[in-house]
Structure 1
């Protein structure tokens, strides 16, 4: 499902100034050599983001077990991490495919030999479609599924693929959207017309339907969950009406917030359900911690081992105490996610959680965080819980993996390369 040699070759990359997470003492070593040395995190500077090895493994196991028990496939959204090393672990854990969002991400996946890709978007770029047609022709094992949400998009794809003299049909799903959502046909009649346009296009093949429920709700309120249910029932109804050109059509939905509802509603209809949850591998200490289905009842009651764990943490140093209740940390918007909530102070390295028990980050500048009500001194290093992995990984080209982020002195056991 992925080119092991290409992924393994990442271990031979030379560490140097290109990677802001790497200490100068490691420059000249390979990634593999440095990981094997198991250096203490104390040797790394700040700002820093790390992943927790135990939490990553736990989350992979939990999600694989849950999807298997639910009888659905998982094609995790690779845009969350853009890390082929993590994609490989997800595929090895049983994932059916990797989902991506645009052409540059697709090219990364193909550079690492990902064999089955679901593009949760429309691909209309003529140059990109010409490249795709060549890729499909030269690699018969490569399986690709894209989305269309209008008659015009189907026509444009067909025109570009004809111009490229495409030899293989491109598999597509009709995308259904919702009111005030993102892309997707807004009603059933429009979606059926899109399906008919696909069937008329000799370069395209209709293999499923899909959409994204997460754009229609941003919390687990009664109203939010009801909006998701309503949309999913519309998708289920559409899925049962389209004239597919395969014996095993798929219906795909499911981000990382409402995948339990996707299984409950779509699982009762014909076709293979494909979830696209991507944030689960890292989880977080913010948005997904609050809204995850495993918090809302999808996990067995009281079984903490069946819940996801946050695998990502920020580390920042106190560089100023200009006021009695204000400290400035050396990590900001360029280092940490902030679009779904501010970083959460968790502990001071070597001192435990008490110094920041009532502290909060109130603002981020480009390179600074405003930490208030913390009992810290200049030079202290604060561990931060982070929210929203989709805007965390893109800030780091190389991310250290520690053995245990809760340890008094974590040890670096791996390094994860990202490609954004």
Structure 2
């Protein structure tokens, strides 16, 4: 007898390709139509604003999606950690922007290894001690490390807070021959203010003014310095700042949204509505592409369904999952707009139902969620499907 093989969750079990009848549910699913639309939409947006696109790969850590983003025109892929960068490089991503500080000799060694193998790599710095450690390590390896200065905000996350800190950091970098100052980086998603739109716009202007001042001072080591920011909520405001400064010539403005590739059904869908309100001239909008399908496993009392899905399968931060559709015998049934997720546990979702709901154990429900990053990292593979819910391929992740 051969050893028993065990599939990943969300795996095709039968020879057919139907998500509803041939896959071991729950399964994380990406709709090809919405995916293709989102890839083209965001690339077109960046191109229109004269910006490069370096999508944040930590959202998906899915090489198949990295390839699609690069094929659509992305300049590079953004990552958050040294190991993520190595994984992306091993799967064909040659330009890597690590929007984080590179700290610790083992992590520096990982990056040095991929630079020696041809990676074009950038990371960020915001402190003199880190600059000195990086300078010493990469000098030992006989390599030059391109770096970006991170600009922070009071009460925010990382980054220099003021001009005094900036000047001291620039001077420290100048004293490290193994480091090449290539531009300025920031992240506007942590800005908290009574008027967040105004605050993000001001931050974008600060980023642009800083990179221009550094170039004027002769501190930069590259001809077309990078200026980069933008998560998935305020990307339009950062693009505005790039546009107003007319950075198309002489600079490399880079937008870094990540969640756009599959969008979502709540958090970023609301953010997209705000983008459309600020820019009514935009054609169309991003579309939710990611959902998770699961079986109804119990109907323990009237008006309540328990679904075989939980925190280990789908994000519940900052919102509970949203019931999208109901299927029986491979076919969609009546709308589920009145079905409400009220509670989620490790492997169970509670769905309250109206009295007239027609539901049975073994039926399938599709769910949407907020913040796709926190759904992707629960899966070792996702299924890409067509509009008939036929599985087109299986996409491994690298978490």
TM-score (norm 2): 0.90
CA contact (8 A) 2:13 2:22 kept: no
Are positions 1:336 and 2:314 aligned together?
yes
Deviations, residues 221-254 of structure 1 (Å, cap 9, x unaligned) = 9722122123222222222222211111010001
**What displacement does 1:117 show?**
0.3
Alignment match of 2:129 (pick from 138, 146, 152)? 152
For residue 367 of structure 1, what is the aligned residue in structure 2? 347
Alignment match of 1:161 (pick from 130, 138, 141)? 138
**What displacement does 1:133 show?**
2.3
SS at match of 2:208: helix
For residue 10 of structure 2, what is the aligned residue in structure 1? 21
SS at match of 2:61: coil
For residue 111 of structure 2, what is the aligned residue in structure 1? 132
Are positions 1:204 and 2:174 aligned together?
no
For residue 199 of structure 2, what is the aligned residue in structure 1? 227
TM-score (norm 1): 0.86
CA contact (8 A) 2:144 2:180 kept: yes
Deviations, residues 113-146 of structure 1 (Å, cap 9, x unaligned) = 311100000112112213322332343xx21111
Are positions 1:93 and 2:65 aligned together?
no
CA contact (8 A) 2:14 2:23 kept: no
CA RMSD of the aligned region, Å? 2.0
Structure 2 residue runs of 5 or longer lacking an equivalent are: none
Are positions 1:245 and 2:217 aligned together?
no
**What displacement does 1:154 show?**
0.6
CA contact (8 A) 2:13 2:24 kept: no
Aligned residue-pair number: 382
SS at match of 2:367: strand
Which range is displaced more, 346-355 or 87-96?
A: 346-355
Change (3 A) 1:188 1:325: farther
Which range is displaced more, 394-403 or 230-239?
A: 230-239
Change (3 A) 1:295 1:314: farther
CA contact (8 A) 1:173 1:210 kept: yes
Which range is displaced more, 125-134 or 379-388?
A: 125-134
Which range is displaced more, 288-297 or 107-116?
A: 288-297
For 1:411 and 1:131, the matched residues in 2 are separated by 40
Change (3 A) 1:255 1:247: same
For 2:243 and 2:79, the matched residues in 1 are separated by 23
For residue 269 of structure 2, what is the aligned residue in structure 1? 289
Deviations, residues 151-182 of structure 1 (Å, cap 9, x unaligned) = 111112112223xx222210000001112211
